[in-house]
Each structure stands twice: as C-alpha cells, then as structure tokens.
Structure 1
C-alpha cells in the first residue's frame, strides 16, 4: 500500500466513516416497583423485589430471581419469562408471550387468560399453581410440584404432560391437540 492509501484510511477513521463492529449489549431494566405502558429490552426482577408490569412491551426476556414477585398484566413479551426460586409469578389479562414461561423451583404461579407461543413449564414448585384460559402454542408440562395444580380451560397445541406431582393436578375443559399424559390424562 502506498502513503496516500494509509492517509485516506487515517482521515476516514478520524471522521468516523470507517466503523468497527462491536457486540451490541441489550439494555436490562432492573424492576423493583411498577413499569407502565413503555417498551424495554429485558427486565430483571432482583432477589426479594416485587415488580408490577402493566401494558409493558418487553423486546427480550423477563427474569424473576429468588424470592421475587412478578405481576404482569396485559404485557407483550417477545422472548421468555423465566423464574427460578421466585416467590410468586402472575401473568394475566390477555398477555402475549412470544417464547416460553418457565417456573422452576419456585413457590406460587398463576398464568391466566394469556397467549404463550411456545411452552408453559411448572417444575418442582412448592405452592399453588394455576393455568387457566390460556392458549399455548407448545406443551404444558408440570413435573414434581408439591403445592397443588389447577389446569382449567386451556387450548394446548402440543401435549399436556404431568408427572410426579403431589397432589395430582386437577382441572377440566382443556383442549389438547397432542396427548394428555400421565397425571393429566383425564384433564
């Protein structure tokens, strides 16, 4: 390369014409109170906090941490809602979830009158769980829960799978395109 070529690169770089790609990091909102009708990238509900989302649009995911509570009403989430060791998760009022709702090793959860494009999973939770009036694009899976589980009037495009829950899940009126399996075979 000649001197003029290097000089051109130096001038263009200084002017900001040449750019270098760098990873784009999504912004994450830490929610300890109420978020209304706004759009955010990702939401994190930190340990012990309570977050109320009302008509909030989340372009990414919601993560609910240990002993935290999420109350989401009329939300639109492009990604997933993931709760691990959470105190309580409530999703209702025509909320739309583009991915999964996963409630693992938590206490209570109530998922009502919402659309979940992929799976709804309840795994090893210790308090009352409710899935009522939802449209689920994938499976509803409930494994090893101990606080009671009601599965009522859901439309499930995949399977309804329930294993090793104490007590056995109760429910009625579920329309399942796949299979109703194990403890949920009669729901």
Structure 2
C-alpha cells in the first residue's frame, strides 16, 4: 500500500522555524564572500544563493529562491506560493514543498527525498536522490526525468499532467489517481511499476 511521507515544514528542522536566523535579501547576506567556504547557520532565501554552504534553506511565502551550486547540509523548505529553482545544488536532507507555486530541481543531489504536495508545477531532472520523489495532489505540469532514485517514485492525485522518463529507480514506480494519466517511458525500475505507470 502506498504511503506518502508527511511533509512537516517546521518539524523537519533540528531547530524550530522561529529560532532560525532570518535574513532579507540573500545577496546582501552573502556579501562579497560568495566562495564555497562562505558559511552561515541558516538562510531565509528571497533571491540567489551561489556556491556557499548553509545548514538549511527556507523559502518564505511568495518568495523566489535560486540555488546555484549551493551546499545545503539539511533541508530546503518551500512555503506557500513560493518558488524554488535549484541547479546543481548538493542538499543533504529533503526538499519539502507544500502549496508552493513552483519547485524545480535540476542536477546535483538530494540526500533525502523530494516531497512536493498540493502546489503548482514541479520538475525534478537529472538529480541523484537518496530517498523518494513524491508528487501529491498537484495542479500544474510535473516532470520527473533522468533521475537516479534510491527509493521510489510516487505520483498520486495530480491534475496537470505528468512526464516520467528515463529514471533509474531502486524501489517502485507508483502512480495512482492522476488525471490525465502519466506519460513517458524508458524507466529502469528494480521494484514494481504499478497502476498508471505499469507500462512506463
């Protein structure tokens, strides 16, 4: 039976959301030192983070955050109506988005899962993922292409169309109650291809 992990945006943090250091524009916070050695305990991201190292990233409501080669020790949390654009970032924890406008993760790695729930569009492409990819009750277009996934890909009750192509999955490819049904192919799955994704 398919079980989707709960997405608790604050509970997943080692410190509470209120205890996180709050910044304004991240470009001002990083300042002149944008090298990989630059480090801060936490980032509230509304702008661009480059090749810096942070403990976790929070994208506040309505904000747009771009991660470009950023190293994140913990989770990336995307709040209501916010947008995340991550390119070649190294994320040690999860990418968790609930009611977000858009969540795009391209290249790089995620040590945990990519969990996207009740939002707009999302794409996960060319990412090495230690956990699962989960798309749940989304309204926009969804893409999961060319990823290497240690866990499973779980796609449930989405209504904007889903493309699933050329992923390598150690677990299962599970698709249920999506309208329209997911499309794609060329997925190599060690477990089972189930329901709407049985032919993909």
Q: 1:181: how far off?
A: 0.2
Q: Does 1:118 align with 2:121?
A: no
Give 1:38's aligned residue: 52
Structure-1-length-normalised TM-score: 0.85
Cα distance in structure 2, aligned partners of 1:168 and 1:31 = 35
Cα RMSD (Å) of the superposition?
Answer: 1.0
Give 1:103's aligned residue: 116
Q: Does 1:62 align with 2:62?
A: no
Cα distance in structure 2, aligned partners of 1:28 and 1:101 = 20
Q: 1:28 aligns with which of 20, 24, 42?
A: 42
Count residues in correspondence. 163
Q: 1:78 aligns with which of 79, 87, 92?
A: 92
Q: Does 1:173 align with 2:198?
A: no
Cα distance in structure 1, aligned partners of 2:64 and 2:109 = 21
Give 2:171's aligned residue: 158
> Which deviations, in whole Å up to 9, do the C-alpha atoms of 1:102-142 show, x marking residues without a partner?
00001100100111111000000000000000000000000
Structure-2-length-normalised TM-score: 0.80
Cα distance in structure 1, aligned partners of 2:132 and 2:96 = 12
The 3-state SS of whatever aligns with 1:141 is strand
Give 2:105's aligned residue: 91
Cα distance in structure 2, aligned partners of 1:90 and 1:164 = 23
The 3-state SS of whatever aligns with 2:61 is coil
Which aligned runs of 4 or more in structure 1 are off by greater than 6 angstroms? none
Q: Structure 1 stretches of 5 or more lacking a match?
A: 1-23
Q: Does 1:185 align with 2:183?
A: no
Q: Greater CA radius of gyration, 1 or 2?
A: 1
